Structures are given as structure tokens and as C-alpha cells.
Structure 1
Amino acid sequence: MFSHRLPSLALALWALAALPAAFVQAPALDYPIAADKVLLLDLEKAGERLVAVGERGVVLYSDDQGQGWHSLRTPVTRTLTAVAFATGQEGAAVGHGGALLHTGDGGLHWQAVEADTGGESLLGVTAMGGKRMVAWGAFGLYLESDDGGASWQRRMILGEDFDRHIAQILNAQGQWLLVGESGTLARSLDQGQTWEAMESPYQGSFFGALQTRDGTLLAYGMRGNLWRSVDQGQSWNKIETATTLAINGSLQQDNGRILALGNGGIVLASDDDGATFRAINGSTKANLAQGVQLSNGQTLAVGDRGVTSLARLVIAKGAKS
């Protein structure tokens, strides 16, 4: 099963937690993995630490704003597609073959978690507030956790016949939004207890979604498709992107700029809450999966060439590229 983060690529391819941080050391890897020579599909913050996940169960972490990276052994060898943290210490990583991992020390140590996945691939995980987390994946697979990812319960959503791959779920100002394969759009108004399908403007696959600070929803995916809603998903407008490359991830920077990241190193920028986007030319040709802005203002992305700095692409708001 392929990852929604980089669809074209993937087809080709508790004891220590309570100790003071100074005494916690990550397990040694048999061989180090260079941060620029590994397929990475997600990157998240655990407090001030950066944690990235990718192929063969690889976890990389950095405690110096991405200047140096350390690779970790995990209990799985399947590709990890996503990582999320409910707190600065407690989080989960998910992946192919139903792989589920839990950490209680900010990503330094990981334990395998059993759950009813049927061996289907998990494509995403996110924190929904407190210790609530949700994970999702292929053929409608949907899991919930109330303890920061230490245990998971499978639930059926959108009926017995729902079998579309779920690409992302996000908490959009109290409304949970789901996007996925074949133009799937759904929402929950009761924090995931019940779900209802929404009319979709698009029959191709969505690979992700973002809610901006102003409440605007963006959904994106195959062949450069990007859609915008200013009414909580009741109606959508297609946004011109001038690309047919897949858009895989997105983020909003501290200055309000929205970046959409995709295959072929494409980076699209918007300074008007997603109403228009333009390409920012960069030197990287890496297929980009996801990005994050650091406390020092730098923006990093991950993809098929590991960790990539987008420093050259983050120009001043309103300046010409």
C-alpha cells in the first residue's frame, strides 16, 4: 500500500521515560543514517526537538534546530509514514503494514503497539487535544487513542461500505475534517463520534488539508489540484497552481505565508490566505512530503532526499520571487 505523502515514490519503493532528560540516551544504531540520504515522509516537533520518520522504520531526531541529526533503531522495519506528539514527550508513529509505535520520552525510545489494523497500512496520525489522537490509513482504516498513543481502538466511520484511503484528518476550529481518495470529504461535529460525508468539488484524490489561522480550509492532492473553502467546507473554489505535480504537504509560517509542498521540489506560496498561489523557484528537485518552521525562523522539509532546508525559498512577505 502506498503512502499518501509521496504517492509516486512509495509505489517505487516505558521505563526510561520517567528519568531526567540528562540521563536519557537513545539506543545506538548499528550504522548511522545520513539525514540527506533516506526517504522521510513526515517531520514534527516534540517540544524543541525535531523528529522525522521514513523508510525501513527509520526515526531521525535533532536537538539543535536541524543542524545535526541522529538516527534511531525502532522495533519495525516497515516504512513509517507519519509521526505526531500529544505532548512534548508522548507521541506516536505509524506506517505500512499497520505499524504503530509509541514514545514517552520525546522520540528517543519507541515501543511497538498492537492494534486491530488487519495489516493494512496507516498513512497518518495527529494529536487532537489533550492526549486524544487519531490515526488513519488504507481502505477506511481509522483508529483512536485517549492515552497519547499508548493504546488504540479501531472504529468504523462513514458506514460499512466505506473503503477509501484516508489522507488526512484535522481539527478545524472544533469541526473535524477528513479528506482522502476519490475526492472523499467528510466532517464530524462531535469530535469523531459520528461522521457525515460532504459534497466534494473534485473526484480525484486529496493528499492533505490545512486550516489557516483565519479559518480558511485548503485541500490539495493529485496533479496540482488545490481547493479553498471560506465556509467550513460547505463550498469550494479551485485555486490555480500552474503545475500538474502532486501537492503532498503544507504549512503556515509565522508571518502568515502559506507554503504548499510537492513533487519535483515544487513550493507554492500564498500571502493572501490561500486565495492565490505562486511558485517559488528553488534549487532542490527533491520530492517534498511535509515541512515545519523552526523557532529560529528557518523552514525544513522532508522527502525522498531526506531533510531539505527551504531557507532560500522563505523570502520576505510581499517581496517578488
Structure 2
Amino acid sequence: MRLSLTPLGVLLGAIFSTTVLAQDSDTTTITDYDVISAPALSSDRIKSEVLIEVTIVGARLIAVGAHGNIIWKENDTWEQAKVDTSVLLTSVAFADESNGWATGHHGVIIKTEDGGKTWKRQLDGFELMTLEKRYFEQRIEKLKEQLESTDDEDVIGELEWQLEELQFQISNIEVAQEEGPSKPFLDLYAKDNQTVFAIGAYGTFLKTENGGESWQVISGRLENPGGYHLNTIFGQGDDLYIVGEAGLAFASHDGGESWETLDSPYRGSLFGGHIDARGRVWIYGLRGNAFVSDDKGQSFTTVDTGTRVNLSAGINTENGTQLIVGHSGTILEVDENLKVKKRTHPSGSVMTDIIELADGEWIMTGRSGLLHWPAKITEEDALATQQGAQ
């Protein structure tokens, strides 16, 4: 049984430093939840502030990050989107060139229908608590019915344990309803412009089948009785994967309707994953641990990364190389034979995502905002500015 909600700083502590988290409006002590509905403030320094994810949508680049900030670029200039929330945004995904979603702290999900120029809230933490409480109450009623229809002592013991856990979850929600929402979403996956999955802290798992007009809790589809954090969801076609805290790893091969628990190759937290051009599944996380599977997660091969830094995100490049980024400016290039070449960005910054442009340039996001490779800053400049983002 998990303890009641911990400070939000713990959730991303493995990715960001305490200094960075403090920039998110001091999320460990905040009691004013106007941040949910307050629009993102305009800034001329947004490219060098905390950005969490970046994606390519047609000819447009879009990045999301702290204080509800979203920036986009179609030609040569980055512009700031209009966003009706100022929470820390943790992920972004598009179903097509118009429809996209982003998730954030305080249970916020926002949507764009104009390719990322304007965004509006579809869900917040108050609504999330209502959804989850109703979901847990319905599960309790079903468990009580099962208890009344069985005399098997083993079954009764298991059902009673599940009832206790669900009642504990409801008590947590009741406390949160008084104190304010604190659950962050950590990632999402847009299967199409109607079907979207969102995951987050304490096993939170939601789905919409109508483009986000309504959301349903589907946490029970995963075998996660401890309520561990779900960090990343990724996929290709009907093959979807989720990884998270304590080595959690799940796979679905029917578009997210049913999920199997994978035999995880690592018991520490896993932060990222992607599928390469050959259909191999890559997962990675704490202390430089990285693994690859060529049988859809039924078995994994350890990748000797040669580093102990935390790894956050990765992609498959046009030439078949895998790029994985992490702390301390680390960029790993992994070839077809799983040989790793390590590069270090001169900023030495925490990096959380990476994309490859058509001209071969790489753009990363993280604690220092936008970063480039080939680097556009020297190590001396990075030390001097304490930014490293230009």
C-alpha cells in the first residue's frame, strides 16, 4: 500500500535538480491552485527556460515546459503559443498536423486543434479526482458483490485486501479534495485524433475515445497494485508499451484494450522508451541502464552504455542509429551492433528529449531549454551564462 501523496518534487527528482523544480512555482508548498487556470505568461527568454519535450508536427516544431509555456517554429523564428494554464507541462503528442494534446502537473490535460498555436484545458486535477473517486467506488461495489458470492477463504482474503486498498485510495482523494489536486500526468500517447491515453503518478491511467471531450479511468487494466508511477507510454500501430517506477513494464498488442505485465530486465525506475525502424523496443532509465528487445518485450538484451547517468528519452534516426539523452549533457549513439558512442554537450545540462531534423541537426530539451547538436555554445560560454541553451 502506497503512502498518501508525497511532495511533487519527488516525482521528477530523478530527472531534475531541486533548483529546477523550484522554478515550477515552488510545487512542494503551493496552496494556490490558480496556476491551473492562469494563462501562461509571455517571455522573451522561454527558449532558455525549462522545456520537457519537443516534437515534429509536419513542418512545425513544438516544445512544452515550465509555467505552461509552449513554443513553436515553422520557419526561422520560435513563437509562443497561447495556453490557458501555467502548470509545468510534461509531455506533448499529436494525432495529425492539427490535433494534439499536452499533459501537466495538477492533473491538467490541454488540447490544440490548430497545430499547436492555441491550447485549451480539457481536464484538471479537480475533475480527475472526481473521475477517480467514482471509478474506485464502482470497483468497491463489484468487489462486495464478489465477496457475497464466494465461500473460498483464499478468494475472500484477496478480495478483502483489494477492498482495503481501494478504500485507502478514496481516503487519499478525499484529503486531496480539501487540500487541492497534486497528481501530475507524466506522458500521453495519441493513437488517433479520437483515441488518446494519458499516464501519471501513482498508477494514474486515463483514456479518451472522443478526442478528449470525456475521459475514463482505466488504471485497473494494469497489474500495478502498489500504485507505482507510470513514466512513459509509447507505441507503433496496435503495439503499445508503458514503463515506470520500480521497473514496471507493460505491453498491449490490441491498441490498449488489454495489457500484459512484462518480465522487466531492471527493478529501478525506467523513464523512457521508443521503437526503432526494425520494430525493436528500447527502454532506459536510472543509472545508465538501457535495454532492447527484438520480440516485443518478451525478452531484453542489456545495452552497455558506459555511463551511470539517468537516461530520459531516445529516438531512432534516419540512418538507423539510436540516440538516447540524459543527465550531464549525455548523448548516446547506439549502432546496429549495440556499440555505444558517448557525446557530451558542452552545457552539461540535464536533457529530457531529443528530435532529429531533416538536415541531421539534433535538438534537445531540458533544464536549459533548447539545446542543439552540433552545439551552438562552448563549455566556457555555458559556465559563464549558467544556461547553456543558445
TM-score, normalising length: structure 2: 0.71
Quote the Cα distance in structure 2 between the aligned partners of 1:6 and 1:41: 14
> Compared with structure 1, are the counterparts of its residues 130 and 206 closer, same or farther at alpha carbon in structure 2 (3 Å cutoff)?
same
Secondary structure at the counterpart of residue 193 of structure 1: coil
Matched, 1:298 2:309: no
Matched, 1:7 2:23: no
TM alignment of 1:262-281, pairs within 5 A: 262-272=326-336, 275-281=338-344
Shift of residue 234, structure 1, vs aligned partner: 1.1
Partner of 1:309: 372
Quote the Cα distance in structure 2 between the aligned partners of 1:251 and 1:162: 30
Quote the Cα distance in structure 1 between the aligned partners of 2:113 and 2:193: 15
Matched positions, count: 296
Q: Which runs of 5+ in 1 are unaligned?
A: 14-27, 314-321
Quote the Cα distance in structure 2 between the aligned partners of 1:227 and 1:160: 22
1:62 maps to amino acid: K
Tell whether the 8 Å contact from 2:40 to 2:69 is kept in structure 1 after alignment. no
Quote the Cα distance in structure 1 between the aligned partners of 2:365 and 2:53: 6
Partner of 1:191: 255
> Compared with structure 1, are the counterparts of its residues 46 and 259 closer, same or farther at alpha carbon in structure 2 (3 Å cutoff)?
same
Q: Deviations over 1:169-200 (max 9, x none)?
A: 22245322111100001112221112221111
Partner of 1:25: none
Quote the Cα distance in structure 2 between the aligned partners of 1:210 and 1:35: 27
Matched, 1:56 2:67: yes
Matched, 1:110 2:128: no
Matched, 1:83 2:146: no
Matched, 1:181 2:245: yes
Identity fraction in percent: 27
Quote the Cα distance in structure 2 between the aligned partners of 1:117 and 1:231: 36
> Compared with structure 1, are the counterparts of its residues 312 and 159 closer, same or farther at alpha carbon in structure 2 (3 Å cutoff)?
closer
TM alignment of 1:89-238, pairs within 5 A: 89-114=98-123, 116-118=127-129, 119=181, 120-156=183-219, 157-159=221-223, 161-172=225-236, 174-238=238-302
Name which of 257, 281, 286 aligns with 2:321: 257
Greater C-alpha radius of gyration: 2
Matched, 1:289 2:352: yes
- Of Structure 1 and Structure 2, which has the larger fraction of its residues in helix? 2
Name which of 39, 47, 52 aligns with 1:36: 47
1-10 vs 168-177, which moves further: 1-10
Secondary structure at the counterpart of residue 97 of structure 1: coil
Matched, 1:69 2:78: yes
Quote the Cα distance in structure 2 between the aligned partners of 1:49 and 1:6: 31
Quote the Cα distance in structure 1 between the aligned partners of 2:11 and 2:356: 21
Q: Which runs of 5+ in 2 are unaligned?
A: 1-7, 22-38, 130-180, 377-390
Quote the Cα distance in structure 1 between the aligned partners of 2:51 and 2:12: 10
Quote the Cα distance in structure 2 between the aligned partners of 1:208 and 1:11: 21
- Of Structure 1 and Structure 2, which has the larger fraction of its residues in strand? 1
Quote the Cα distance in structure 2 between the aligned partners of 1:79 and 1:137: 13
Quote the Cα distance in structure 1 between the aligned partners of 2:184 and 2:364: 23
> Compared with structure 1, are the counterparts of its residues 160 and 266 closer, same or farther at alpha carbon in structure 2 (3 Å cutoff)?
closer
Q: Deviations over 1:120-170 (max 9, x none)?
A: 110001222453221111011111122444442221222572511111122
**4+ runs of 1 displaced by more than 4 Å?**
2-6
Q: What is the root-mean-square deviation in Å for CA atoms of aligned residues?
A: 2.3
